[in-house]
Amino acid sequence: MVHQQSSQAHLSSNSDTEDMALLLAPRLAYFAGVARTEHVTRAAHEMNVPQSTLSRAMVRLEQDLGVDLFARHGRTVSLTPAGRTFLASVERALAEIERAAEEVRVDSDPAAGKVAFGFLHTLGAETVPGLLHAFRADHPRVRFSLVQNYGEAMLERLRAGELDLCLTSPVPDAPDLVARRLDEQKLRLVVPADHRLAARRRIRLVEAAEETFVTLEPGYGLRRIFDSLCREAGFRPKVAFEGEEAETLRGLVAAGLGVALLPPPTVPRPGVVELSVTAPRAVREIGVAWLANRPDTPPVAAFKKFLQSRRGNLLPD
């Protein structure tokens, strides 16, 4: 019972703090103006508000705080010790608000704003740099905050408002997201250079049913595609290693620790051979996703339009 009463008191304290903040916030700029000029009439003129409004606001502010912030000397005022303490915090708060306002104004600038853009690790070496290079040919001052991650993590960051849009696979299907398919990428069976299958150019996935696989961890989009293709081929894969990055898996294959189903590398990797998979059709779809019903800033809208214009031509040859 004591613990419950303590929790209720804590909740009440939090609520009182929020109520006080809502009560004080509209009058903080007025207070800073009067404190700066030490003259109510002059402050009212500078802030373009009636003197009576400003005087009442200062009286109410002192009443709400329960302390005297000013010593009054006719039409002039001076800060009390409590007023000087309060002013230091108020100036920091107002400066932070101004900084935040300027940041969102700059980020929304059509010519020089910012786009928070997420993408899969496997698209980071070649695809995304090429896209950004092409986009900035017409939008040279737009800035990007780039995030590389696996698909589910990026969708979580979209929902949290940390990303404006992302390139991901599989293309998500969720009521709170909008997604557009942009391209597809063939997956290949990667085997060691001295493997019994290394002399082949093409293979049906079922022919690798008895092999040991290295693959991405559960939760990754490529892992879901891999599991689905193996089911379609009629077998359950034997997985020896699970990793977080495709090129690490290629290294494991080159070391003879298994085979893998992966998208093509940016640069050919020595020690491995990559076979085309003829059945089932082994591809992954790449799409762009964003949060439904979220208004776009002009730079985000421009980049979204650019990405959709690359449909069918998103990935390098």
Write down the pLDDT at residue 93.
85
Tell me what percent of the residues of the chain surpass a pLDDT of 90.
65
Q: Looking at the predicted structure, is the pLDDT value of residue 6 above 50?
A: no
pLDDT at 2 over 70: no
For the ranges 5-14, 15-24, 125-134, which has the lowest average pLDDT?
Answer: 5-14
Mean pLDDT of 167-172: 95
DSSP H helices, the chain, are 2-37, 40-47, 51-65, 81-107, 127-136, 151-159, 221-233, 246-254, 298-309
Return the pLDDT at 182: 97
Domains of the chain (ranges; CATH) run 14-108 (1.10.10.10), 114-184+285-310 (3.40.190.10), 188-281 (3.40.190.10)
Q: Cα separations (Å) of 292 from 16, 149, 178, 183, 203? A: 35, 21, 5, 21, 41
pLDDT in tens, 77-87: 899 999 999 99
For residue range 92-139, list pLDDT tens digits in order: 888 787 777 666 766 667 677 899 999 999 999 899 999 999 999 999
Residue of 126, 137, 102, 101 lying closest to 302 (CA atoms): 137
Q: pTM for this structure?
A: 0.69
Mean pLDDT of 236-256: 96
For position 43, what pLDDT does the model report?
Answer: 87
Average pLDDT, the chain: 89
